[in-house]
Amino acid sequence: MSRIVKGPSGKPLALSSAGWKHSAAVRWLLLLLFVLLFYMSISPRLVPETYDLTLNAKSDKDIKAPKQLQDEKATFEAQEAAAEKIGPVYPIVALHNELLVDELFARIDQLNQEDQVTFNEKVDIFKGDIPMRVEKYVTDFVASNKGSQSYSDDLLAEMKRVVTAQSYLVPEETFYKLPKLTSDQLSAMKTVTRDIVRKLTKEPITEAETARTKVAELVNASTLPTKTERETVQELARLTIFPNKFYDKQATDEAKEQARKDAPPVVIKQGDVIVKSGQVITQDIYDQLVALEMLKERKTYWPQVGVLLFCLLFTLALYGYGELTASSAAQKRTNAQWLMLLIVFALNLLFMHLAALAHSEQWPYVGLLAPVALGSMLVTLLIDMHLGMVSALLFSLLASIVLNVEQKQVFDFHYGFVTAVVSFTAVLAIYRASQRSSILKAGIMVSLFGSIAVLALMLVDQEPDKTQIVQSIGFIFSSGLLTAVLVIGLMPFFELTFGILSALKLVELSNPNHPLLRKLLTETPGTYHHSLMVGNLSEAAAEAVGANGLLCRVGSFYHDVGKTKRPLYFIENQNGGENPHDKLEPKVSASIIIAHARDGADMLKAYKLPKQIRDIAEQHHGTTFLKYFFHKVVKQAEAQGVECAYSEDDFRYPGPKAQSKEAAIVGIADCVEAAVRSLNHPTVAQIEGIIGKIIKDRLDDHQYNECDLTLRELDKIAETLKETVIGMFHSRIEYPDDKEMKKLKEKQS
């Protein structure tokens, strides 16, 4: 049955006229406020403040950097300074000069053994062949290493140039000594020459002459016996000693370039004063302000447009998902819920900004202290889990922007990830909470899972700092506990301000020690027991059709509290004693019975119970008809031979009819429990018939016209009530098989 609200003329009123809670204009205003809230929250991070400044003018205030920015000029200067510190690179080239020594001595020995060649011819050959072989050795070395990774082409060219420039000119008389040397002498001389060359070329040599001056001393210290041998070794050693350390332009350029890359960039940190009050705006400062987009004359509105689009997407996601999940429950969300959601978002964003303000170099992770799970937990407790989930997602995105102090990117993945973990943990840990202590447990869960998330992120770092790990985990753990404390403190505010009847509040109201329930138990024990039974029936029926089962159960506990004013006028409290209605006029009796609904609502209001509970007490009978007393007054009139002075309307409850599923379900369960209790040995067929008749009578009497119950849901309610009643009254119910067994036993006896 769809709810129809009618005006004085009997025509349905538009939904927009049903008060501000359903006003379309108010709904649009709230959505606009959501957009403004998101814009005010993230625009300081994404849209820089602009100033009216000109070149060579003085600034009238201190100007701080709105975000972190690299100082390009200072960075370039630092890079060049680092490059200047890099001197020329002189790599050492291993020429293996001892191999050249071996080659020269082998050639000398070979030529000396040629008998056909005369002495003078040998001298002439040595004069041309030995210098040529030295030159060829260098040329071959360059050719064999060209294009290799060991030496660059520039280095090889420089080496050949330097070696050629510092080549040694052997005295002419040395060539006249060579043909006279025997193989044995050459062998001993080669050994000495190799040792000397190897020893001297182990050290870096830039000037060959310096190394060559040491040859004579080393030769004289050798075991060579003759002067000719020593003089010849000196000259050949000097000939084969080259420079081995050369300037490498390419390596030098690469080293300078690497120094430029390694030089840390000069960063203007967020909050750094880039212009002091009274300071002249130089070209460099002006360029910095342009780079930071802080000059009004260079102002662009694209960042504002981008932020506005972000805000619209956030709002559409929140509203669209909220309405989608509400329509699936056949219940639209009211403006009161959206206003409450707006306040929750504002509070959560406020705490984020406070944490961001506390950021400093000493406390770089203080943003983790923000109780970001607060909003998701409040939304789940006050509205439902669906909005809690989408709120958790939005809070993750917002936190990654608001807490992104360094602003290297639009979103800070670290804060976004941690916020997502703690927010979804909060929703899953709290959505079935049944007592206040559950909030503290949820806060501890938030602390634990948040700590795991932070630890994971810190360990991913290649070189995690132990101090930073401890600091981060300490902040996030404290955040979970702070979240629990804030939720416990804020819940009563929302419950009282918006009339929210949360699951936690309902569980508190179900406590038997509540003054009204104590009054019901002590003064009307029969009604108290009846209320408990109705609570069990209505809760099962409500859960079967997706209504609030907990509200039905608690509402059932209080629905007949008005009977405490005149307890003996209700049959469940008479305990088989005298019925006072036997001595009263039917109209008076009906008035007493009818009054208990209004009396109960007044008592509940006096005790400041939530409106939903009062509505159940006032509406559970709707405008139903008291047939018994009406028939009694009709019979009295017939017996007296007069026309009855009353109509059916005089014996109806004043209503209103049930305005919610919960009130209608409690009303059905109330009648079913009373009817079944009146039977001595109810059968399954009787129970099924009674439930069907009660629902049909109320349906025919139009008692469900103003609530959202459908015929399909009424069938589910009937089936659920039947199963629950059979379970509750199992020992008293006679099944058909039981009757047959009794008859069989009677026949046998």
667-689: average pLDDT: 88
pLDDT at 501: 80
Is the separation of the CB atoms in 728 and 536 below 8 Å? Answer: yes
Three-state DSSP class for 545?
coil
Taking the CA atoms of 301, 305, 311 and 314 in sequence, report the sign of the dihedral they define: negative
**What band does 2 get if pLDDT is binned at 50, 70 and 90?**
very low
Give the start-to-end residue ranges of the domains of the chain.
15-26+32-42+301-500, 97-247, 515-748
DSSP collapsed to 3 states, 381-405: HHCCHHHHHHHHHHHHHHHHHHCCC
Question: Six-digit token pair at 330?
Answer: 């056949």
Q: Quick one: pLDDT at residue 730?
A: 59
Tell me, what's the pLDDT at 616?
A: 94
Which amino acid does the sequence have at 119?
A: F
Q: Residue 546 and residue 561: Cα distance in Å, rounded?
A: 26
Q: Following DSSP, what letter does each residue of 180-246 receive, concatenated?
A: G--HHHHHHHHHHHHHHHHHHHTS--S-HHHHHTTHHHHHHTS---SHHHHHHHHHHHHHH----B-
Q: Average pLDDT in the 623-632 region? A: 87
Average pLDDT value for residue range 524-539: 92
- Give per-residue pLDDT as tens, 6-16: 433 343 333 33
| Per-residue confidence (pLDDT) for residue 75, from 0 to 100 | 84
Q: For residue 286, what are the contacts with CB-CB under 8 A and spacing of at least 6? A: 53, 55, 295
Looking at residue 424, its pLDDT comes to 96
Task: Please give the pLDDT value at position 289.
Answer: 75
- Cα 533–430–617 angle (5° rounding)? 30
Exposure b/e, 10-32, CB count within 10 A at least 16 = b:
eeeeeeeeeeeebbeebbeebbe
Q: Rounded to an integer, what distance in angstroms lies between the CA atom of residue 166 and that of residue 160?
A: 10
Which residues does 624 contact at the CB level (< 8 Å), separation at least 6? 652, 653, 667, 698, 701, 703
Whole-Å CA distances, 708 to 22, 334, 537, 546, 663? 16, 16, 19, 12, 11
Q: Residue 607 has which token pair?
A: 């005790």
Is there a contact between 225 and 215 (Cβ–Cβ < 8 Å)? no
- CA gap 200, 37 in Å, rounded: 80
Residue 93: count of CB within 10 angstroms of its CB: 23
Q: Report CA torsion sign: 9, 12, 18, 23.
A: negative
Angle, helices 335-357/24-46, rounded to nearest 10 degrees: 10
On the question of pLDDT at 150 being above 70, the answer is yes
Q: Which of 412, 385, 487 is nearest to 446 (CA)?
A: 487
> Are 572 and 583 a contacting pair, CB within 8 Å?
no
**Per-residue pLDDT, 748:** 45
* Beta bridge partners of residue 105, listed in sequence order: none
What is the pLDDT averaged over residues 614-638?
89
Nearest alpha-carbon partner for 608 in 487, 718, 499, 466: 499
Give percent of the chain with pLDDT exceeding 90.
42
What's the average model confidence in pLDDT over 707-729?
A: 89
DSSP 8-state code for residue 572: G
Supply the CATH classification number for the domain 15-26+32-42+301-500: 1.10.1760.20
- Whether 515-748 and 15-26+32-42+301-500 are alike in CATH topology: the answer is no
What's the pLDDT at 328?
A: 44
Best-predicted range by mean pLDDT (106-115, 340-349, 592-601, 629-638) = 340-349
Q: How far apart are CA 48 and CA 609, in angstroms?
A: 50
Helix (H, G, I), strand (E, B) or coil at 4: coil
For domain 515-748, which architecture applies? Answer: Orthogonal Bundle (1.10)
Residues whose CB falls within 8 Å of the CB of residue 85, separated by 6 or more in sequence, listed in order: 259
What are 70's strand-pairing partners? 267
Q: Name the average pLDDT for the chain.
A: 85
Least confident of 257-266, 305-314, 327-336, 437-446: 327-336
Q: What is residue 740's predicted lDDT score, i.e. its pLDDT? A: 53
Under DSSP, the state recorded for 60 is S
Query: What is the rounded distance in angstroms from the CA atom of residue 512 to the CA atom of residue 297?
Result: 71
CB 247 within 8 A of CB 158: yes
Q: pLDDT value at position 6?
A: 41
Beta-strand relationship, 267-268 and 273-275 = unpaired
Q: Is the pLDDT of residue 30 over 90?
A: yes
pLDDT value for 327: 52
